[in-house]
């Protein structure tokens, strides 16, 4: 075990080396880890008693948002500090200091001027970026919000004047990134030429050394940083342009706004595109757009109280209709279901009440709200999950339009079996929220007649309540699950008033409790009422992958990326999606990491850890044993196991197994865990991590990763705002990485080599010349020529190489994704190339 | 007339060649019509003859030391009482066309050494005593409390061998004006700066200067002060403004004053003509040929590798 860890440490050090910075601030890296993940930070907030916040213990900073890094006073010292944290700049500072002493090899101006130029340019860039951030902040801070001042009165105030949380989001860790390069160590002649004092060879030798240090400073390219930064900006422009063109060709709107965000952010780190190895996938990054709506309901049941699947020919027809429907043109987004028996009000002729109740459940059992009508009389909805939206839209299509929600009522516009549209108001009595152990949510409503119903939707287990139709439903469910559809079962029951009142008191009590046992009480209460449900039917939702996702993932896998899928879905679904997007293949050995026991309480934590460790160890062994056969491994981790695996002492074992697998799928991952996984993988492997996702729940992960990519999809702009790159669709990742990543890597590495080459070629002439001057340290060129050499005279060829070089065309890149791996074996190849180059050039001039 | 010319070209390939490569003068219309058979089209073929640069290099630092002192040259050169006259004959190998440049060439002379190079004061050379800060000149900076003009090691070590040339008994005229850069004369060395206390110290490094001539006219000094880049260098001494024929015997009378013996440097006298390409220089030719050959060799090796292991 010590072997691999030792190597890993070394790797980490290497990665530190090529980021070029010494004096890395330690606070940025480690501080937030524990404090923010633990639930340690809390605040006491008094509602409607704002005067309490004016005195000390509860006085919090105001709501002013500041993402800027500097202010007017701190700019100079902080920016200078940032600049001189770079080893090379420090070195040139030293040279500049030495140049004003009598030891100087050159005219002091010729040493100081380029340094000032280079540092000044970098600082100017920082200043401009910070200025943009400031403008953005000002926009946010001057946003008008309504503030409640008491008694229902609202006052317009600007955001910044609010008391509340103060966030300083910019960590300077983000800014310590810089291009990779090599350090050149100077070999200095230990010349004992009695230059300074023949009596004292020691000190004169030292002075010689110092002189030579200054003289051969030209071996280190001073303007490398500036050039790299410039090249990065230009590359980002090119990438954006290219992606934008690609998008416009394929008719996808690529908003100007997005491009802008994209540009600003990518300036920081597009260089890193080429170096990452692990890619974390946000669950939704695979492009969840639920377009297919799949529904099977009971039909013609004889028993009134049991509803379920009708067996026989009709179900296969339903299946057929599903398949054929996907090919049909659909006008309603999010709904792709065609079945003549149900559509266009046809269901009313089927003399089946269960259909109606089923649609009603669909329209009522959710947490969504309708949003403004935007076309015709169709509504669109917003809800916690896209599934709910899909259900609502489906219900609307079937004639159950959910129109309005108030605190206690829900209004449906229903299609009566008589064919008329009726507006009905339902009282919402209780909402039993979804939780992961019950795996269902319910609403308790009473209709206009005062009848009380419990409407429930939930995971497959609910189907156990079905009686006659249970078998059929289970069969259908497994069929759907195999197809990679997300299944959902609907059920309901009628509750008598006394029963409800009994239960209601229990539930209220549970709701009123405060403390850790509240959850449990609520759960128990919910369990109490969610009994003896009647199965209505099952629904399958296709989490439709965006176009080109499987191909893209396939290419990325070929390119040697390790892909992690982090999803909130349950395990079966995740695995199915994994297959659907060709992340998982059938020749892969799946390793499942899961817990047998449910919900570990504190006493059991040790056992649980043991269990996980045990599993991990056996997997590790398995991988070691079967490594020779070359079968790839896939690790599937479920939510509970993940929680344990990420705990501090198990983490390393978990990651060492996970790193050896080609694909890792984590299910039931919370947004926080996504970020935590990203962070731990990044720290553990020392590799570059790219995270891609489209939802707000991916933001943490995107920010945590070295490169964050946001998909500007249906789920809002949060992910895009937080990202370094934004893509309109997942499949553009392929082009971004395999083409632009490859190019950028090649460009930057070639450019650095070229840069180093030209400086060495130049510096060596100085060195060779000194052979002819008795190593006295005489310089060969005019001072001003030397000043201009790096900064002006030879900068353009290098920069143009860095921006425009294409070693192979984009088609070739896409055709052979393995080319990308070249970039991953970076150091070895670049190192040998440069050393060969160094040897060549050392005798050429 | 032109038609005739073309017909000619079509008929005879050889004449086509001539018409292409030779400079065809105006066609003489009075020529007889037999030109097709006679092939007497007027043409001239320029023969590219290299403009030879003739160079005579003569090392005299050993030969000009009397046999008696050969074992201890340093004692000879340091002893002022021994006359340093030396007379040698040179044979001109080829015709040399005027102007013939006279150089002295010093070897192993590190005029490019940093501490030597910076031991001067350009401001003082231009402004004389008006410029006070001559700290860079140490130790050759002050004599009897006054700044030495010109100060510094470079000036102090001014070359002081002299040459005169005789063909037969006639002394040839050597032009010693305009040997320095005009810009140096006009802008770098003061017209009002006189070397009034130069080489007054106990240790004399080289030539003395006429205190009545301003620095801007001390062309030997100006030439010398432009320090050389390499330890082997030539500096212009003067020009001979008459042609020298092949096998002429030139008698050189020289004063072998300059001490290069302490660091075993050599002194050479060089007579050279010049072309538009400059003087005689083997380096470029050698460099081209050697690098070219090595590249051919490398190309061959790579070709073999490629044939053996094609990609």
A356: closest CA among A422, A294, A259? A422
Q: Render pLDDT for A722-752 as a digit per residue (tens, 0 to 9).
A: 777 777 777 787 888 888 888 888 888 888 8
Q: Is B110 on the interface with A (CB under 8 A)?
A: yes
Which residue of A191, A771, A772 to mutate against B (max B Cβ within 10 Å)? A772
Instruction: Give the minimum alpha-carbon distance from A774 to chain B in angstroms, rounded to a whole number.
Output: 7
Secondary structure element (H or E) that encloses residue A593, with its range: strand A589-593
Chain A residue at shortest CA distance from B135:
A102
**Containing H/E element for A415?**
strand A409-415
Chain A within 8 Å of B78 (Cβ-Cβ)?
no
CB contact under 8 A, B112 and A777: no
8 Å CB contact between B131 and B124: yes
The pLDDT assigned to A11 comes to 40
Q: Is B229 on the interface with A (CB under 8 A)?
A: yes
pLDDT tens digits for A196-229? 556 677 777 788 787 777 777 777 777 787 888 8
Q: What is the pLDDT of residue A389?
A: 76
- In chain A, the residue whose alpha carbon lies closest to the alpha carbon of B295 is A844
Quick check: A547 and A561 in contact, CB under 8 A?
no
Count other Cβ atoms within 10 Å, centred on residue B288.
10
Alpha helices in A687-805 (DSSP H): 699-704, 718-722, 732-734, 742-771, 783-788, 795-804
Residue (of A777, A759, A787, A780) closest to A212 by Cα position: A777
Condensed to tens digits (0 to 9), the pLDDT of residues A756-807 reads 888 888 888 888 888 888 888 788 888 788 878 887 888 899 999 989 988 8
Say whether pLDDT at A171 is over 60: no
Residue among B110, B114, B231 minimizing CB distance to A777 = B114
Comparing A567-576, A683-692, A783-792, which segment has the lowest mean pLDDT?
A567-576
Q: With 50 as the cut, is the pLDDT of residue A814 above it?
A: yes
- Determine which of A414-428, A820-834, B74-88 has the lowest per-residue pLDDT on average: A820-834
Say which residues have a Cβ less than 8 Å from residue A797's Cβ, sequence separation at least 6: A754
Q: Which helix (H) or strand (E) holds A554?
A: helix A549-558
**A776 and B110: CB-CB below 8 Å?**
yes
The alpha carbon of residue B114 is apart from the nearest alpha carbon of chain A, in Å, by: 5
The pLDDT of A518-526, averaged and rounded, is 81
Q: Is the distance from CB of A693 to CB of A701 less than 8 angstroms?
A: yes
Summarize the confidence of residues A512-521 as an average pLDDT. Answer: 78
Question: How far is the alpha carbon of B201 from chain A, nearest alpha carbon, in Å?
Answer: 24
Given 3.30.70.360, 3.40.350.10, 3.40.630.30, 3.40.1110.10, which CATH number is that of A290-495+533-543? 3.40.1110.10
Select which of A130, A262, A272, A284 is catalytic.
A284
> What percentage of chain A reaches a pLDDT higher than 70?
61
CA-to-CA separations, A489 to A306, A325, A466, A536, A575, in angstroms, rounded: 14, 21, 10, 8, 20
Q: Do residue B231 and residue A777 have CB atoms under 8 angstroms apart? A: no
A152: phi > 0 → left, psi -120 to 50 → alpha, else beta; which? left
What is the distance in angstroms between the Cα of A777 and the nearest Cα belonging to chain B? 6
Q: Tens digits of per-residue pLDDT, A247-301?
A: 655 544 333 223 223 332 333 333 333 333 343 333 333 333 333 333 333 332 2
Whether residue A698 contacts residue A719, with contact meaning beta carbons closer than 8 Å, is answered with yes
Distances (CA, A) of B243 to B54, B56, B88, B102, B246: 12, 14, 20, 13, 10
A773 touches chain B (CB under 8 A): yes
Non-local CB neighbours of B248 within 8 Å, separated by 6+ positions: B91, B92, B167
Query: Is A773 close to B110, i.e. CB distance below 8 A?
Result: yes
Q: Does the beta carbon of B144 lie under 8 angstroms from any beta carbon of chain A?
A: no
The distance between the two most distant Cα atoms of chain A, rounded to a whole number of Å, is 117
Q: Do B110 and A777 touch (CB under 8 A)?
A: no
Burial class (CB in 10 A: 0-12, 13-18, 19+), A640: buried
Closest CA to A215 of A194, A198, A191: A191
* Phi and psi, residue A400, nearest 5°: -115, 85
The answer to whether the Cα torsion of A47, A48, A49, A55 is positive or negative is positive
Give contacts of A777 with chain B, Cβ < 8 Å.
114
Instruction: Tell me chain B's radius of gyration from C-alpha atoms.
Output: 29
Distance CA A321, CA A330 (A): 14
* Torsion (CA) B248, B254, B256, B260 in degrees, nearest 10: -50
Nearest one of A336, A361, A356, A334 to A346, comparing CA atoms? A356
User: How much is the average pLDDT of A61-89?
Assistant: 78
Residue tagged 């992958």 (tokens): A545
Is there a contact between A795 and A227 (Cβ–Cβ < 8 Å)?
yes
The answer to whether the CB of B164 falls within 8 A of the CB of B86 is no
| Chain A touched by B115 (CB under 8 Å) | yes
Distance from CA of B38 to the nearest CA of A (A): 57
| B117 contact A CB<8A | yes
Note whether B265 contacts A: Cβ–Cβ < 8 A.
Answer: no
Nearest chain B residue to A768 by CA distance is B230
List of chain A residues whose C-beta atoms are within 8 Å of the C-beta of residue B114: 773, 776-778
How would you label A412-427 residue by residue, b for 16+ Cβ within 10 Å and e otherwise?
bbbbebeeeeeeeebe
Give the number of other CB atoms < 10 A from CB of residue A538: 29
- Subunit contact B115:A780, Cβ cutoff 8 A: no
Is A554 assigned a catalytic role?
A: no
Give the count of beta carbons closer than 10 Å to the beta carbon of residue A773. 21
Contacts of B231 in chain A (CB under 8 A): 772-774
**Are A773 and B115 a contacting pair at CB < 8 A?**
no
Q: Say what the ipTM of the complex is.
A: 0.74
Range with lowest mean pLDDT among A123-132, A306-315, A817-826, B193-202:
A306-315
Per-residue pLDDT of chain B (311 residues; tens, 9 = 90+): 333 333 333 333 333 333 333 333 444 444 456 666 666 666 777 766 656 788 999 999 899 998 888 888 888 988 888 888 999 999 999 888 888 999 999 999 999 988 899 889 999 999 988 988 888 887 777 888 888 889 899 999 999 999 999 998 889 999 999 999 999 999 999 999 999 889 887 778 888 999 999 999 999 999 999 999 889 999 999 999 999 988 899 999 999 999 999 888 999 999 999 887 778 788 888 999 999 999 999 999 999 999 998 86
A377: its two tokens:
């009389």
Q: Residue A833 has what pLDDT?
A: 55
The whole-angstrom separation of Cα A657 and Cα A592 is 12
Provide the 8-state DSSP code for B278. B
CA dist A379 and A369 (Å) reads 10
Which residues, listed in sequence order, are joined to residue B240 by a DSSP beta bridge? B100, B174
- pLDDT, tens digit, for every residue of A17-30? 334 444 444 333 33
Q: How far apart are CA A645 and CA A652, in angstroms?
A: 9
- Asked if residues A749 and A566 have their Cβ atoms less than 8 Å apart, the reply is no
Range from A451-460, A583-592, B35-44, B117-126 carrying the lowest mean pLDDT: B35-44
Note whether A266-286+547-736 and A290-495+533-543 share their fold. Answer: no
A103 touches chain B (CB under 8 A): no
Residues of chain A with pLDDT > 90, as a percent, come to: 0
The CA distance from A809 to A374, in Å, is 45
Best of A196, A210, A769, A773 to mutate (most B CBs within 10 Å, chain B):
A773
Give the separation between CA A118 and CA A121, rounded to whole angstroms.
5
CA–CA dist B1, A827 (Å, integer):
74
Residues of A in contact with B112 (CB under 8 A): 772-773, 776, 778
Record: fold of A266-286+547-736: Rossmann fold (3.40.50)
**Ranges A51-65, A328-342, A546-560: which has the least confidence:** A328-342
Domain boundaries, chain A: 266-286+547-736, 290-495+533-543
Nearest to A776 among B113, B229, B230 (CB): B113
- Chain B residues within an 8 Å CB radius of A208: none
d(CA A183, CA A16) in angstroms, rounded, equals: 12
Which letter does DSSP use for residue A588 in this model? S
Q: How many Å lie between the alpha carbon of A803 and the closest alpha carbon of chain B?
A: 29
Per-residue pLDDT at B289: 96
Q: Do B113 and A780 touch (CB under 8 A)?
A: no
Query: What is the predicted pLDDT for the residue at A149?
Result: 62
Question: How far separated are the first and last CA of chain B, in Å rounded?
Answer: 61
The model's pLDDT over B154-210, given as tens digits with 9 standing for 90+, comes to: 999 999 999 999 998 889 999 999 999 999 999 999 999 999 889 887 778 888 999
A774 CB near a chain B CB, below 8 Å? yes
Q: Is A419 on the interface with B (CB under 8 A)?
A: no
């005219």: which residue's tokens?
A107
Mean pLDDT of all residues in A150-174? 49
pLDDT at B293: 96
E strands, A243-352, are 276-282, 289-297
Which residue, A264, A262, A266, A271, is CA-closest to A244? A262
Question: Is the pTM for the entire model greater than 0.90?
Answer: no
Q: B79-94: per-residue pLDDT in tens?
A: 888 888 999 999 999 8
pLDDT band at A130 (very low <50, low <70, confident <90, very high): confident
Contact B25, B49 (CB under 8 A): no
């Amino acid at each position: 075990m010590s072997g691999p860890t030792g190597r890993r440490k070394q790797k980490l050090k290497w990665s530190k080396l090529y980021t070029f910075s010494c004096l890395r601030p330690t606070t940025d890296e480690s501080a937030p880890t524990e404090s923010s993940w633990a639930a340690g930070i809390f605040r006491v907030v008094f509602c409607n008693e704002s005067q309490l916040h004016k005195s000390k213990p509860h006085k919090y900073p105001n709501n002013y948002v500041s993402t800027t890094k500097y202010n007017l006073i701190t700019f100079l010292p902080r920016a200078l500090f940032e600049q001189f944290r770079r080893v090379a700049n420090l070195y040139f500072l030293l040279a500049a200091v030495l140049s004003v002493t009598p030891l100087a090899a050159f005219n002091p101006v010729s040493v100081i001027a380029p340094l000032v130029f280079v540092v000044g340019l970098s600082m100017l860039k920082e200043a401009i970026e910070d200025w943009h951030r400031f403008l953005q902040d000002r926009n946010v801070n001057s946003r008008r919000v309504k503030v409640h001042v008491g008694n229902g009165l609202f006052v317009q105030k600007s955001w910044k004047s609010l008391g509340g949380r103060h966030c300083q989001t910019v960590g300077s860790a983000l800014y310590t990134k810089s291009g990779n390069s090599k350090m050149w160590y100077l070999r200095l002649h230990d010349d004992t030429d009695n230059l300074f004092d023949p009596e004292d060879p020691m000190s004169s030798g030292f002075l010689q050394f110092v002189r030579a240090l200054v003289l051969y400073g030209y071996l280190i390219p001073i303007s490398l940083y500036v050039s790299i930064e410039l090249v990065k900006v230009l590359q980002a422009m090119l990438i954006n342009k290219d992606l934008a063109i690609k998008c416009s060709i394929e008719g996808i709107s690529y908003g100007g706004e997005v491009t802008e965000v994209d540009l600003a952010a990518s300036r920081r780190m597009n260089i890193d595109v080429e170096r990452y190895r692990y890619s974390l996938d946000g669950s939704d990054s695979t492009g969840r757009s639920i377009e297919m709506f799949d529904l099977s309901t009971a039909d013609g049941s004889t028993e009134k109280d049991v509803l379920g699947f009708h067996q026989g020919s009709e179900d296969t027809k339903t299946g057929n209709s599903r398949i054929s429907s996907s090919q049909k043109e659909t006008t309603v987004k999010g709904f792709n279901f065609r079945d003549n028996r149900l559509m266009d009000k046809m269901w009313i002729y089927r003399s089946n009440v269960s259909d109606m109740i089923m649609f009603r459940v669909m329209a009522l059992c959710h947490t969504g709200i309708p949003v403004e009508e935007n076309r015709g009389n169709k509504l669109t909805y917003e809800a916690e999950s896209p599934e709910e939206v899909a259900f609502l839209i489906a219900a609307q299509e079937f004639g159950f339009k959910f129109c309005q929600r108030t605190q206690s009522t829900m209004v449906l516009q229903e299609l009566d079996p008589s064919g008329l549209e009726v507006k009905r108001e339902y009282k919402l009595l209780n909402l039993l929220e979804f939780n992961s152990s019950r795996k269902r949510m319910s609403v308790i409503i009473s209709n206009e007649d005062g009848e009380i119903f419990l409407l429930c939707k939930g995971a497959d287990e609910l189907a156990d309540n079905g009686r006659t139709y249970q078998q059929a439903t289970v069969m259908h469910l497994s069929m759907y699950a195999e197809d990679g559809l997300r299944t959902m079962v609907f059920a309901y029951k009628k509750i008598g008033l006394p029963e409800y009142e009994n239960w209601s008191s229990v539930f209220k009590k549970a709701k009123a409790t405060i403390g850790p046992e509240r959850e449990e009480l609520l759960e128990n209460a919910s369990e109490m009422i969610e009994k003896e449900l009647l199965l209505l039917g099952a629904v399958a939702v296709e989490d439709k992958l965006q176009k080109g996702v499987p191909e893209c993932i396939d290419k990325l896998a070929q390119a040697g990326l390790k892909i992690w899928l982090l999803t909130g879905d349950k395990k079966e679904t995740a695995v199915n999606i994994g297959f659907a997007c060709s992340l998982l293949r059938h020749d892969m050995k799946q390793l499942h990491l899961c817990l047998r026991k449910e919900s570990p309480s504190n006493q059991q934590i040790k056992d649980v850890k043991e269990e996980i460790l045990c599993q991990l160890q056996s997997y590790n062994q398995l991988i070691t044993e079967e490594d020779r056969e070359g079968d790839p491994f896939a690790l599937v981790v479920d939510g509970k196991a993940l929680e344990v695996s990420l705990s501090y002492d198990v983490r390393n074992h978990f990651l060492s197994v996970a790193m050896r697998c080609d694909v890792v799928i984590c299910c039931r991952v919370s947004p926080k865990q996504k970020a935590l996984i990203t962070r731990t993988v990044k720290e553990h492997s020392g590799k570059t991590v790219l995270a891609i996702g489209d939802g707000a729940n991916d933001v943490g992960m995107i920010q945590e990763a070295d490169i964050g990519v946001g998909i500007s999809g249906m789920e809002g702009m949060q992910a895009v705002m937080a990202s370094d790159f934004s893509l309109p669709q997942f499949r553009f990742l392929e082009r971004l990485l395999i083409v632009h990543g490859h190019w950028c890597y090649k460009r930057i590495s070639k450019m650095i080599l070229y840069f180093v080459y030209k400086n060495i070629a130049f510096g060596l002439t100085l060195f060779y010349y000194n052979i002819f001057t008795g190593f006295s340290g005489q310089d060969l060129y005019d001072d001003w020529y030397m000043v201009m050499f790096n900064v002006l005279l030879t900068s353009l060829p290098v920069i143009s190489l860095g921006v425009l070089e294409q070693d192979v065309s984009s088609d070739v890149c896409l055709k052979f994704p393995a080319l990308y791996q070249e970039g991953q074996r970076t150091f070895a190849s670049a190192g040998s190339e440069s050393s060969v180059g160094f040897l060549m050039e050392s005798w050429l001039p | 007339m032109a038609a005739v010319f073309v017909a000619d070209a079509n008929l005879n390939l050889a004449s086509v060649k001539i018409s292409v490569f030779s400079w065809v003068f105006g066609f003489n219309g009075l020529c007889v019509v037999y030109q097709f058979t006679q092939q007497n089209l007027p043409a001239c073929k320029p023969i590219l003859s290299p403009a030879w640069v003739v160079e005579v290099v003569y090392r005299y630092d050993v030969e000009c030391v009397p046999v008696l002192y050969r074992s201890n040259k340093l004692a000879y050169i340091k002893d002022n009482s021994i006359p340093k006259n030396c007379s040698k004959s040179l044979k001109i190998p080829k015709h040399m066309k005027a102007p013939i440049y006279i150089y002295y060439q010093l070897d192993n002379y590190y005029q490019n050494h940093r501490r030597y190079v910076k031991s001067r004061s350009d401001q003082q050379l231009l402004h004389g005593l008006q410029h006070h800060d001559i700290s860079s000149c140490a130790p050759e900076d002050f004599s009897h409390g006054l700044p030495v003009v010109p100060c510094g090691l470079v000036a102090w070590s001014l070359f002081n061998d002299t040459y005169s040339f005789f063909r037969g008994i006639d002394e040839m005229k050597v032009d010693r004006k305009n040997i320095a850069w005009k810009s140096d004369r006009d802008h770098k060395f003061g017209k009002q700066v006189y070397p009034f206390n130069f080489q007054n110290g106990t240790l004399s490094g080289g030539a003395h200067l006429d205190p009545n001539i301003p620095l801007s006219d001390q062309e030997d000094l100006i030439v010398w002060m432009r320090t050389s880049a390499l330890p082997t260098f030539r500096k212009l001494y003067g020009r001979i403004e008459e042609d020298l024929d092949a096998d002429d015997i030139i008698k050189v009378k020289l004063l072998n004053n300059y001490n290069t013996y302490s660091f075993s440097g050599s002194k050479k006298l060089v007579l050279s003509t010049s072309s538009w390409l400059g003087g005689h220089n083997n380096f470029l030719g050698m460099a081209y040929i050697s690098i070219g050959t090595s590249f051919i060799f490398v190309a061959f090796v790579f070709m073999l590798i490629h044939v053996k292991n094609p990609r």
